[in-house]
Amino acid sequence: MTSYLDCADRAVGGRRTIEIIDQTLRDGPQSWWGMRMTKSIGLPIAGQLDRTGFHTIDLVGSSIFEVLVRHCKEDPWDQLISLSKAMPNTTVRGGTRSNGIVTFGLTADSVMDLWVERLCAHGIGSFWIYDGLFNIDKIGRLVKVAQSHGAQALPCILFADSPFHTDEYYAERTRELVALGADGIELEDAAGLLTPERARSLITAIKREAGDLPVEAHFHSNNALSPLNYLEAVLAGADRVHTASRPLAAGVSLPSTENTIANLRYAGFDVDIDDARLAPVAEHLVNVAGLEDIPIGQPAEFSLFQYRHQLPGGMAGTFKAQLRDRGMEERFEEVLDEMSLIRRELGYPVMATPFSQLVGTQAVLNVVTGQRYSVIPDEVLLYVNGFYGQPVAPIDGNVLDTIMDSPKAKTYQDWEPPQPELSELRKKFGNDISDDELILRLLVPGHDIDVMRARPQRTIDYDLTSREVSNIKKLISTSVGAYLHIESGAFELTLHGDH
């Protein structure tokens, strides 16, 4: 059995310094809080994160914009500007699909380019760009757009567990991405499917093709193996790993910064991080979670079940809720079996946006209707017609015939994805609309934006809020009388109201 203590001599290049990409403000809350990281939560810890010594701090993705507007009633541009300005010493990162923003469908190239440009204008200095089917032309265009505005661009390889997603397959994709002039390569395991052996062989294959370019490991902890996989990754040559503060780490999220740093140092690697700044960040997040009654990260146990459905993050909970709404929660296992079958039939799409939603939605429809492929979402029609790119494996012929025989499929026979110019899109909202507002209006329904703008922007000072205040909030929300008096130490509050 391999010993990981004092094992830096096994590492490619001997003793090295491993850099940390912080995900406390982006993937951590995306995994545990449904992306509900408000400015009031993030801003108090931005300065600590900025001075910790992270190589990069990941900050934003397009779906976060929609969530902030719709659910938090907060202007996402204001949050981005505030947080990026609060972290002047560290490069902040944004993420994007190569061919879509927010939507599971397709977004025009002109809008994709403007999205990257506006993120750069507001402080984003690094991008991870992903595409489950590796549309090299679209990835390459965005790489050039980001770099032309002074930002680095790192294409992201999404790991999938299938007979076709071999180390050789990923090595070939790495060669193609390197040829684009990328600034590095990121390997993401969103569903926590990697084993230590596969992490070692895959990073070795990717690093061999990446050459001097940095390789990053971004492994989720769904199956409890990612801390060990990080050690194997850096031993095989990975230069950076992605982590989150402990309250937003583990489980469906990433390994904790605290534990990862300790593991790397025990294994003989150097990590230039100011450890003293980690505890204040964690304490703030624990306080926020308690006050807002939202979860903190919990470690997962290893489960073979994860390899059956390969769902990333919280999608299993989403599908359970959909079935519960239809009184069919007991058929959840049937949905997972159907997903596994659909994934094989559709040529093993990687289970990440938009394909995880595409496969999952089709599975729910098949189970609910009782007739497979009797109802076919538009995204499945886009996929089988090649508009997302070419699948890694052939689509099952019988299934393809069934889909293409549907009445709606015929409308895609001569269809081409629209590629409007920005000038055309501006006409819908008025030619004087700013670039930021145009992006927001294209991402989020206008009604949600209007509701957000009509609500006064609130600032919550969590550092001055105690657990007693949280309990008072609960008392106020559950009180049925017209009078409420609370005393706690030096604190006293009396509320009057009409019945």
pLDDT single digits (tens) 336-345: 889 999 999 9
Question: What whole-number distance in Å separates Cα of residue 441 and Cα of residue 447?
Answer: 10
- What is the separation of C-alpha 4 from the centre of its chain, rounded to a whole number of angstroms? 30
**What's at 241, amino acid-wise?**
V
Domain 19-292 is of which CATH architecture? Alpha-Beta Barrel (3.20)
Q: Could you check whether 19-292 and 305-411 share the same CATH topology?
A: no
Q: How far is CA 162 from CA 89, 204, 351, 393, 426, in A?
A: 41, 19, 11, 10, 43
pLDDT single digits (tens) 42-68: 999 999 999 999 999 999 988 889 999
Two tokens, residue 32:
């545990």
pLDDT single digits (tens) 202-228: 999 999 999 999 999 999 999 999 999
- The SS3 of residue 379 is helix
- Tell me which CATH code domain 305-411 carries: 1.10.472.90
Whether the CB-CB separation of 174 and 210 falls below 8 Å is answered with yes
Per-residue pLDDT at 499 exceeds 50: no
pLDDT at 105: 83
Runs of H (alpha helix) within 211-314:
226-235, 257-266, 278-292, 305-309
Q: Which pLDDT band, with edges at 50, 70 and 90, does 463 fall under?
A: low
Domain-by-domain residue ranges, the chain?
A: 19-292, 305-411, 471-496
pLDDT at 424: 93
Question: What whole-number distance in Å separates Cα of residue 60 and Cα of residue 141?
Answer: 20
pLDDT single digits (tens) 102-149: 778 899 999 999 999 999 999 999 999 999 999 999 999 999 999 999
pTM score of the predicted model: 0.89
Would strands 491-496 and 483-488 be described as parallel, antiparallel, or unpaired? antiparallel
